[in-house]
Amino acid sequence: MERDTTRLLYGAHVQANGIRQHYLRYGGDDGERRQRDAIVLIPGITSPAVTWGFVAERFGRHFDTYVLDVRGRGLSEASEALDYGLDAQAADVIAFAEAIGLHRYALVGHSMGGRIAIRAAAKSPAGLTRLVAIDPPVSGPGRRAYPAKLPWYVDSIREARRGISLQRMREFCPTWTESQLRLRVQWLHTCDERAVVVSFEGFHTDDVHLNLPNVKVPFLLMTAGKGDVVGVRDVDEIKSLAPHVEVSRVSNAGHMIPWDDEDGFYLAFGDFLGATLSNDTRSE
C-alpha cells in the first residue's frame, strides 16, 4: 500500500482543560508541512471528528492537521455534570493546543465550531496565527433565530442511539451521498443529547459579535451561497466589527459547504492559511 493512500496518522486522547479530549491527526510535521502553521479543525454541533476525515485528508497533504471531537461528541468526554457552554468549548481548544505543544497554529471552525473558534481567538491565545470561521451561526440575543430547529437534531440522535437505518437517516439529510449518510448513521449516537441542546440554546443566548473586535489575528469568514445561516447584512455587520476580515463565498453550497461543493470549499481558502489546498501532492 502506498503511503499517500491516507494522511491519517493516528487518533489519540489528551487531558486538557480538565477533560479527556479526543482528536485525529493527519499529515504530520515533516516536509514542507514543517514550515507551515498547524491546523486545528473544529466541527459543528453534531459532527464528530471522524465525519470531517475527508476534509482532513486534503488538509493533511499540506498542513499538520488536528481534528477535534468537541466535548460531548465522538470519543471526547461526556457526562451529566459537564459544562457544554461556549466558554468551556473555547477554553478546550486553547488548552488542547497548549497540551499537545502547538507553537503556531490556525483555527478552522465550521458552524458551531466557527463560534468556538471566534471566542477562542478573542482571548489571543499564545501561538494562534489565523482564524477561519465557516458559516458560523450569527444568532444571539435580540437577533434572528438560527434557521435549523432543535427537534431535527434531537430526534435523529435518539433514533441513532436505538439504531437508525440508512433509509431513515436519508429523510433527515436528503441531499447527502450514501457514504456521508453511512458515516452519520455510524457516529451520530456519540453526540450527547445534553451537549447538543445546550449548544443549540447557546446559539440564541451567546453573542459572538461581542468577541469580534478582539480578534486580532488574520481572519477569514467563509459563507454558503445557498445557505441561510449567514446573510449579506450579517457579513456587513461582521466587517464593521472586524474590519480586517476577509470574506469568501462558496456559491454552489449550502451550510454543509464541503459536503455540497468540496472543490469550491478548498478553493475558497485561497492561500490564506499559508499554502493553497490544491490536489497536487508535489506541494507536500
Domains, the chain, ordered by start: 3-274 (3.40.50.1820)
User: What is the reported pLDDT for 282?
Assistant: 56
User: What is the reported pLDDT for 1?
Assistant: 32
C-beta of residue 63 within 8 angstroms of C-beta of residue 34: no
Query: pTM score, two decimals?
Result: 0.96
User: What is the reported pLDDT for 53?
Assistant: 97
What is the residue whose three cell numbers read 453573542? 207
The DSSP call for residue 244 is: T
What is the chain's Cα-based Rg?
Answer: 18
Beta-strand pair 246-250/219-224? parallel
User: What is the reported pLDDT for 5?
Assistant: 82
Task: Look at residues 114, 138, 131, 100 and name the one whose alpha carbon lies nearest to residue 43.
Answer: 114
User: What is the reported pLDDT for 144?
Assistant: 94
User: What is the reported pLDDT for 3?
Assistant: 44
User: What is the reported pLDDT for 4?
Assistant: 54
- Beta-carbon contacts of 274 under 8 Å, excluding residues fewer than 6 positions away, are 36, 37, 130
Q: What are phi and psi of 109, to 5 degrees?
A: -120, 140
User: What is the reported pLDDT for 283?
Assistant: 52
Low-confidence ranges of the chain (pLDDT < 50): 1-3
